[in-house]
Amino acid sequence: MSIEDELQSTIDDLVQEGKGILAADESQPTIAKRFAQYGIESTPESRRAYRSLLFSTPGMEDSISGVILYEETLLQRDDRDRLIPEMLSARHVVPGIKVDRGTVALANSPGDKITEGLDGLAGRLDAYKAQGARFAKWREVYAIGERNPSPLALEANAETLARYAAICQEAGLVPIVEPEVLIDGDHDMKRCFEATESVLHAVFHALCRHGVVLEHMLLKPSMVLPGKNHPQKAAPGQVAEATIRVLRRTVPAAVPSINFLSGGQGPEEATANLNAMNAMLSDPPWAISFSYGRALQQPALAAWAGRSENGGEMQKRFLERARLNGLARRGEYAREMENE
């Protein structure tokens, strides 16, 4: 198969009506933090047990087309001794891999960050691909502050994302390009709108400079929301209206799918906001879907609490969120479904 055909077939498998992506690629410090909330110790075995249970949820494949894994998980086995990427592929769920190495402060730009991990990336991608990964994810983060994100941060982060995406496509892995405007702060929605517009504008300019094929990538943005500490919450209709407006201004129609991150929204909130966007547009230029981490996993993790006897309940909770987000992907979700 040519590289182009390979990328296209991964896109076809990932972008499907009523389906989205599960982000289960928490780094070691992040998963330790999530586990600690429920008194679970984070060890290679507890992480394996949790993720193995989660990924073997019966029926997950009806709403989940792909799973983003962390490096460690690529080599772990499920409870039936199958390698996790192989087990996912056998269920027609595409395995992907987080390939960035996390963020550091951006020098000479107080309050801004930059993501590391480009050195040696091509070599790592070949290894991940041999282990079954067909797509990749890289996240840049932008905090909103009085002077942030700065023009330098916009440019440097966009350049990094574009270099990553170009390297992925050369290796035959579909890149998920994730610029996350953080929810932290007391800014209003307008400020988030402006920051998101500048970020996406810079990202697509850089993708173009680097020759990234837009048809063979996915965008994973944050929604336009008021800051976490802003006194007013926004209704799903407002979030949908502002988010679609900014995406229309900045994301070319050649991009096949936009898969949002949840970024600190509650599970129901993330589902309702996604639903509002799909309900609003009958024929959007791109698919509008999800690539949620916390919003898909939080209720499941709480139900599991590290005990094998809770496995059934955990899978039930996970399947419920996956199913409701699958409906939101079609604009067919309603709040009343939460209590059914």
Footprint on this chain of ligand 13P (rule: CB under 6 A): 23, 139, 178, 261-263, 292-295
**What type of residue is 304?**
W
- Per the annotation, the verdict on 220 as an active-site residue is yes
Q: How far is the CB of 80 from ligand 13P (least distance, A)?
A: 27
Nearest Cα residue to 24 out of 295, 269, 206, 338: 295
Task: Report which DSSP code applies to 144.
Answer: -
Using the minimum distance from each CB to ligand 13P, give the nearer residue, 198 or 325.
Answer: 325
CB atoms < 10 A from the CB of 231, how many? 8
Using the minimum distance from each CB to ligand 13P, give the nearer residue, 85 or 293.
Answer: 293
The token pair at 189 is 């929605």
Q: How far is the CB of 261 from ligand 13P (least distance, A)?
A: 4
Using the minimum distance from each CB to ligand 13P, give the nearer residue, 13 or 178.
Answer: 178
Nearest Cα residue to 219 out of 234, 237, 238, 199: 199
Chain residue whose CB lies nearest ligand 13P? 293
Q: What is the C-alpha separation between 211 and 175, in angstroms, rounded?
A: 13
Largest pairwise CA distance in the chain: 54
Using the minimum distance from each CB to ligand 13P, give the nearer residue, 6 or 38.
Answer: 38
Q: Which residue out of 26, 140, 178, 269 is catalytically annotated?
A: 178
Alpha helices in 213-266 (DSSP H): 236-250
Q: Which residue out of 26, 98, 220, 269 is catalytically annotated?
A: 220
Q: How far is the CB of 140 from ligand 13P (least distance, A)?
A: 10
Nearest Cα residue to 7 out of 192, 215, 285: 215
- Per the annotation, the verdict on 178 as an active-site residue is yes
Q: How far is the CB of 21 from ligand 13P (least distance, A)?
A: 9
Using the minimum distance from each CB to ligand 13P, give the nearer residue, 239 or 307.
Answer: 239
Using the minimum distance from each CB to ligand 13P, give the nearer residue, 112 or 269.
Answer: 269
**What burial class does residue 18 get, using C-beta atoms within 10 Å of its C-beta: 0-12 exposed, 13-18 middle, 19+ buried?**
middle
Q: What is the C-alpha separation between 24 and 68, in angstroms, rounded?
A: 6
Q: How far is the CB of 33 from ligand 13P (least distance, A)?
A: 12
Task: Report which DSSP code applies to 268.
Answer: H
**What end-to-end distance do the CA atoms of the chain give, in Å?**
46
Asked if residues 239 and 190 have their Cβ atoms less than 8 Å apart, the reply is no
Q: How far is the CB of 291 from ligand 13P (least distance, A)?
A: 6
Asked if residues 129 and 167 have their Cβ atoms less than 8 Å apart, the reply is no
Catalytic residues: 178, 220
